[in-house]
Amino acid sequence: MTQVIDPTMPPYTDEEVTPLKPAVQPEQLQHRHLREGEFWREIPAYKEVDEATFLDHIWQGKNSVTHPDKLLETIKGLAPAAFVDDVRDGFAKAPMSLRVSPYMIACIDWQDPYRDPIRTQFIPVGSRLSPDHPMLKLDSLHEQEDAPVPGLTHRYVDKALFLPLDTCPVYCRFCTRSYAVGLDTEQVEKVQLGVNPKRWAKAFKYIASRPELEDIVVSGGDTYQLAPRNIRQIGETLLKMDNIRRIRFATKGPAVMPMKILTHGDWTDALCEMAELARSMGKEVALHTHFNNPSEITWITQKAIQLLISRGVYIRNQSVLIRGVNDDPETMRLLVKRLGHIGVHPYYVYMHDMVAGVEDLRTRVQTALDIEKYVRGSTAGFNTPTFVCDAPGGGGKRDVHSFEYYDRDNGIAVYVAPSVKPGQMFMYFDPIKSLSPEAQARWQDPVTREEMMDEARRKAMDAAR
């Protein structure tokens, strides 16, 4: 006999329920507690800035810090002068330009700037820099080698990376495209990938000519910096191609200047219109963003993300595993949970690319393995990021644990990519400072260095047989 449930009755009884798990502790719900209020007023330069002004994306852009002197002026009284001198030294040696939004400045703990995870990402200090790994290359992922036309990388069979511009709302120290993004620095003369209709036309022509291409990542630079008309132009041009099924607009904007989504209506409209157009065609336009630490997510972030979600935009996040930012298992767990709480899908966590000038930020492959093991099971599987190594040399993204061989003593992980570049091997190298003194000494000798890599290749080949 089928039991009929009375919809007017509450879905429980008066019987006492015996809990199977202990009561939830407040710290287990920390991911729901976002920074509230006008927290930016704690910064002397922003003390008199009201909410409407602070949420204005134009004000954010005009007041972004682009020089150590402006940083000193902005945080006057919060950090010692010696720290700013350390910053000057850091930028003299850095491959990236300086640009930090007021929002990011306000999120930094200036009582402890050396250990703050946001400062670590955007503001280098000379005293913390480490020598580059001897196997490092400026374009470590060989994006230019896989570019049939400038600013378009075609590596995977059905996916291409389109770089329509070379500027960002902020400049991350660890940018994998420090070879092109931002202004020239004392260390790097950049490849020019500015907005150029002729260059775009060549990219579109190539994409249309390759029927196997179905998925286009529009990045840069940062699509936050594209004018709304450019968002529409790129979106409509690609969606009209029969072969293209998916477009991802990549931007760090929601992490570093979320208020633009709230106050630059035309830009937000353009993105949402492209998502709606894609759905009407049975295709997909998604936003891919880049949060690295839970403290980057505030009430402003949540409000901006909810606006996009309410208008049908699907949002994925790609983090980078960074020493001092999120290489602690509990910090990564909190980031993953907080992203899920605000409606952002935690998609990837990358091993830090081997780019110039940021050796102090890289972690070991073993660190990623340990953190992935810790995070898995703390939330639903579909909301748990995949930890990947974007293999140096152009092998593409490999699950971090999928190495053929990992020499933990010398810090050499060997990957293969049979569907991307069959027959080749790709090596990721742990930071030398993370190795034993004996291993560090071995890396200093070019002959021994080659012997170590040859041995790693042989053992990887044996493992693959």
For the stretch 403-453, pLDDT in tens is: 999 999 999 999 999 999 999 999 999 999 999 999 999 999 999 999 999
Q: Distance between CA 129 and CA 152 in Å, rounded?
A: 32
For the stretch 182-203, pLDDT in tens is 444 444 443 456 678 899 999 9
**Is the confidence at residue 250, as pLDDT, over 90?**
yes
49 vs 44: CA distance, rounded Å: 10
Residue 60 has pLDDT above 80, yes or no: yes
Q: What's residue 382's pLDDT?
A: 92
The larger pLDDT score, comparing residue 18 to residue 238, is at 238
% of the chain beyond a pLDDT of 90: 70
Indicate the average pLDDT of the chain: 90
d(CA 275, CA 283): 9
Residue 269 to residue 218: CA distance in whole angstroms: 17
Residues 211-244 pLDDT 10s: 999 999 999 889 999 999 999 999 999 999 999 9
Average pLDDT over residues 320-334: 97
Among the CATH numbers 3.30.70.1350, 2.130.10.30, 3.30.56.10, 3.20.20.70, which is that of 152-402?
3.20.20.70
Q: Is the full-model pTM beyond 0.85?
A: yes
Rounded to 10 degrees, the C-alpha dihedral 309/315/320/321 comes to 70
What are the residue ranges spanned by the domains of the chain?
Answer: 39-123, 152-402, 407-465
Q: What is the pLDDT of residue 184?
A: 41
Reduced to 3 DSSP states, what percent helix, strand and coil does the chain have, rounded to the nearest 5?
Answer: 40, 15, 45
Cβ atoms of 256 and 101 within 8 Å: the answer is yes
Q: How far, in Å, are 167, 176, 236 from residue 183 at the CA level?
A: 8, 15, 30
